[in-house]
Structure 1
């Protein structure tokens, strides 16, 4: 697999092709429940850190995020509407916990918009600095 980068003028961060490929696997094929991305400072690009199988729960996803470091994540949220229709919405989550260091917070903040634009088909975006800001109820409220 090639790792051609899309460059990011504002932060110099590229986006590994694997990120877009893995996102499409979640979006179109439903191969993943979530994808967690991290910035690899040595390679100066965003890479896939972890994927969750379709059987994993939202709690599994939240547990997979580091407590004290920033990440980007995509979560495929399945729900049933008031009309009893099965729906799915894709959330982009910018995870930047209060306790993380300043440098990662700045790096993730300056790279976010460029990276987010690479993922065509995201329905909602959440910026979270604490787990309560991305609670399952928050997703449910946004999706309905």
Structure 2
């Protein structure tokens, strides 16, 4: 009898695994969260046309889609992005994603003076104070967002505290990665 129970249990496990694989969808999205088309549209305007300075993304209240929460006007300072993130994350209790167009001064070898360079960075903000379920949902959904928007080649900032969004540190990392 016990062997029969184990057999039935293994079959149920296989069904559960298959069900979970089917739920993952085309982007390997275990969370089942979809990417709203507005995310791609906003990102294209930021990355290709530089019409925005930043985009803050969130998972909607039904936990079914990643949507655009806030778009920064062209030319808005980095400090505005940080202030909007502070509001969006409710004092460090919520998770968010963001794409930010950052301008840095780069010194190229063999040239005098520096040149301005705009680079888009991807921010995954997930504070330790956020509920575990939210952190897991954001962590399991990030791959789909990055794949849909084509963010794999961008500098990634994983922040667990608002101080991790320090402008000077991020610009320093960008400049260091651009030295030729």
Is TM more than 0.5 here?
Answer: yes
| Structure 2 counterpart of 1:77, from 88, 97, 102 | 102
Superimposed CA distance per residue, residues 11-46 of structure 1 (whole angstroms, 9 cap, x where no aligned partner): 101001110010000011111100000001426110
How many residue pairs get aligned? The number is 140
Among candidates 155, 161, 168, match of residue 130 of structure 1: 161
TM-score of the superposed pair, with normalisation by structure 2: 0.72
CA distance in 1, matches of 2:123, 2:166: 11
- TM-score norm. by structure 1 comes to 0.88
Structure 2 unmatched runs, 5+: 1-25, 109-113, 176-180
1:95 lines up with 2:120 in the alignment: no
CA contact (8 A) 1:8 1:14 kept: no
State whether structure 2 residue 47 is matched by structure 1 residue 17. no
- Closer, same or farther in 2 for the Cα pair 1:31/1:20, shift >3 Å? same
RMSD over aligned Cα atoms: 1.9
The structure whose residues are more often helix, as a share, is 2
- List per-residue Cα deviations over 1:19-78 (Å, max 9, x = no partner): 001000001111110000000142611000000012321111111112221000000001
**Alpha-carbon distance change, 16 to 7 in structure 1, aligned in 2, over 3 angstroms:** farther
Structure 1: which 4+ aligned runs deviate by more than 3 Å? 6-9
**Residue in 2 that maps onto 1:86:** 116
**Number of the residue aligned with 1:113:** 143
